[in-house]
Structures are given as C-alpha cells and as structure tokens.
Structure 1
C-alpha cells in the first residue's frame, strides 16, 4: 500500500506536502498503484469575480468534434481520453475495508475555498457525438440538471466525461487547487505542463502545439 511517506520519495520537492492527499486517492483507486499519474497544483491569489481555472461547462475528454467547417481543431482533440473513470460493483474489490466504493481511474479534485467549482452527478456517455472543442458542452446546460458546488477541503472524484466548471469567486482570496488525473491519458501537452523534476516521463503521446489554438 502507498503511504504518504513512500510518495514523498517519488514527488518533486515542491509537491511533497501534497503526498497525504495523493495517498488517500490511491487507496480508493488501487489499480493505479505503480502507474504514472498527472498532478495539477495551482496556488494563486484570485480577485473577486474572477476564476482561477477554466470557466464554462465542459468535460475533460473532448471526444469527437462534429464535422463543421467553422470549427478548427487539431486531430489530437478527437477521441481523447484524459483520466477515464469507472465506478461501482463491476470493479473487482469494489468495496474497501471501510465499506466505501472503490473507483477505477478518473480524476480527483479539491480546493481550499467554497463554491469555486461546480460538478454534476452525471456522465456524458456518448460524448463523441455532443462535445465541442476542448470538451465544451455549454449547449447541454439546460438538460443535465443542477450541479453541486464543491466545498472547501473536500475531495471529489469525477470521470473525464463528468460535467464541471470553474466558478467566479464571491470574495478575493488565495486559492489552492489540487487535481490528480490517473494514468489513462491519450496525450500530454508540453506547453501546458511541467516535466517531472525527478525524471518520470509520461508514457503517452507528447503534444508540442498549443491546445488552445
């Protein structure tokens, strides 16, 4: 079993203090032990009315873009997996020692501030038919019901087909955002990510272009 002490040995110095949170994630997602994960730590002061992360309703897997001449996208935005994710009794050893449901793959997220991210308790199963550039599903807002605002210091798990959005902050403050994307990744964007300083390389395609262009 991974402990936060073992994880500290694998993490870059600036990430070591997040080892206890990562250990909690891996205890619920045991098939990820020994695999490469992708860590996001964003710490910054955010003004009132601003968002720290990407706004707009979206999922992390862009899926397949429609054949529309007015939409430009690189080929690597199609059929793109960014963490995957499954849960429930179909997973071997689906309950842990505390009776909690284990999960497979997916994305773990947390923040130190209330109401700065909203998630929906649903999954876009055939996302390749309805997803626009970079996972944009704003056009589906009226049909997926009400979302749930994430609360401070609570760890959330979603799939890469789970709708979510960053929210404008109701007050200014220093926000810490944590995200762990599990190993099922189709591509890694060099321009938008930092290489691991201890030498671990992503075992997937490396994209050198800007994904927002």
Structure 2
C-alpha cells in the first residue's frame, strides 16, 4: 500500500518576520523565483525537502508566522486530508489533487514542519475517496474512530505526506510564536484565488484551474437556509 508519511529530518526556521503566504507558486530548483522576503525559507527548508521529480516544476509554498494563544490553533483545526472531493459534501466522485504522493515515497506529495512541538498530529493511514468519505474541504472527522493512534511532530521536524494522509493542527499547550512551513508539489488541480498568494515572478501552470470567490461560500450559503 501507499506510504502515508515519512520523517525527513530536522530543519531550522529562519528568524521570524510575520511572513504570511499561502499556496504561492514558485519554481523548484530556481531560487530566483522566490521573493526576497522568503529566500531564507527556500535556503533553510525547501532545499531540505527530498524529492525526485519536481525540479523545474511549479510548486506551492505556504509560510505562516504569528503569535498563538494557549488553547488556540494557528492552522485549520479538525481532522482532514489536503485532497478534497470535487462532488460536494461526502458525495462519491473524484478527489482534487493537492500534491498527490500515492505512487511512491517522495514522488509528489506535501512537506510540512512547524516551530512548536506537539501542534501537528499525523496518522499512518491513507483515505480512499471512492465511497464519498471526504467532502470538498477534505474533512474526515467522522473517520477518527477508524484511525490508529496519531503521531505528534516535534519542533523543527520535517515530514513528507500524501494529500490523502489524515492530519490536524492541535491547540497549543502554551502561548508562543509559531512558524509553519508547507510545500505542496506540482500535482494540484485547483488554486483558490481568494485564499492564495500570487507570485509576480511565477505564473500558474495552464493545467491548474483558478477558482474565484470563497471556497467556503457554498457551505455558508447552505447553512443560512
């Protein structure tokens, strides 16, 4: 079966500067494609991500740096996978790619790390979309009972995972500044314009569908009816 995730070693985060970008395109292997304020992340973390097939491809960088109060999460809470379904809430259909990674370890997929221990939990499972188990946002809280025990990541611990590997952000045990890094490799289907950061140095590939408006709007509309 597919490898759900792997440890890639430890990384040192750059000096914090309240950076905040989400799914910003850049060209893997081309440092010049990264804006100046993010080059430290390229040098210290992106170059530590082992990958065999992404050089010259457009990948997607997320960096979030902020102070988080005890009991709060910096990132999206709740158990989820990155690849959401394309047919609406829990309807059988095709999952949108968000890095892939099911073919072999380090081939595609996602890399992530944070600067605060025990704020990310990952599970050694891969979710199948065939029977409508995943909604359009990748939520799988209803599957928690079927998963094994999760693994908590240490500060600076870099992992590789597939876009169908269950994981979640956890409330912080103490108030502190947190830095978060994520690299999504080139195999994505959708780029949500309202929630993502454009890069004036790099255009989106032609195969990526740009989705305009809030990706949560349909859900909000239905909740109001």
TM category (shorter chain) comes to 0.7 to 0.9
Give the one of 9, 19, 35 matched to 2:42.
19
**RMSD of aligned residue pairs (Cα, Å):** 2.1
My pick for the range that moved more, 48-57 or 200-209, is 200-209
Structure 2 residue 116 is the aligned partner of structure 1 residue 113: yes
Looking at secondary structure, tell me which structure has more strand per residue.
Answer: 2
Q: How far off its partner does 1:19 sit?
A: 1.3
1:134 is paired with a residue whose SS is coil
Q: Is the 8 A contact 1:58 1:137 kept in 2?
A: yes
Q: Is the 8 A contact 1:64 1:128 kept in 2?
A: no
Question: Hey, what does 2:216 align to over in structure 1?
Answer: 212
Question: Hey, what does 1:175 align to over in structure 2?
Answer: 178
TM-score, normalised with respect to structure 1: 0.81
Alignment of 1:198-209 (within 5 A): 198-203=201-206, 204-209=208-213
Structure 1 unaligned regions, length at least 5 = 1-5, 89-101
Q: How far off its partner does 1:63 sit?
A: 2.3
CA distance, structure 2, for counterparts of residue 53 and residue 178 of structure 1: 11
Q: Is the 8 A contact 1:7 1:19 kept in 2?
A: no
Q: How far off its partner does 1:129 sit?
A: 2.4
Q: How far off its partner does 1:126 sit?
A: 3.5
Q: Is the 8 A contact 1:60 1:82 kept in 2?
A: yes
Q: Is the 8 A contact 1:63 1:127 kept in 2?
A: no
Q: 1:158-182 CA deviation, whole Å, 9 max, x = no partner?
A: 1010000010000011100000000
My pick for the range that moved more, 53-62 or 124-133, is 124-133
My pick for the range that moved more, 178-187 or 14-23, is 14-23
Change beyond 3 A, Cα 1:39–1:60: same
Change beyond 3 A, Cα 1:105–1:128: farther
Q: 1:141-200 CA deviation, whole Å, 9 max, x = no partner?
A: 011111111110010111010000010000011100000000000010110011013233
My pick for the range that moved more, 150-159 or 195-204, is 195-204
Give the one of 46, 51, 63 matched to 1:41.
63
Aligned length: 186
CA distance, structure 1, for counterparts of residue 73 and residue 35 of structure 2: 27
CA distance, structure 2, for counterparts of residue 170 and residue 127 of structure 1: 37
Q: How far off its partner does 1:14 sit?
A: 1.4
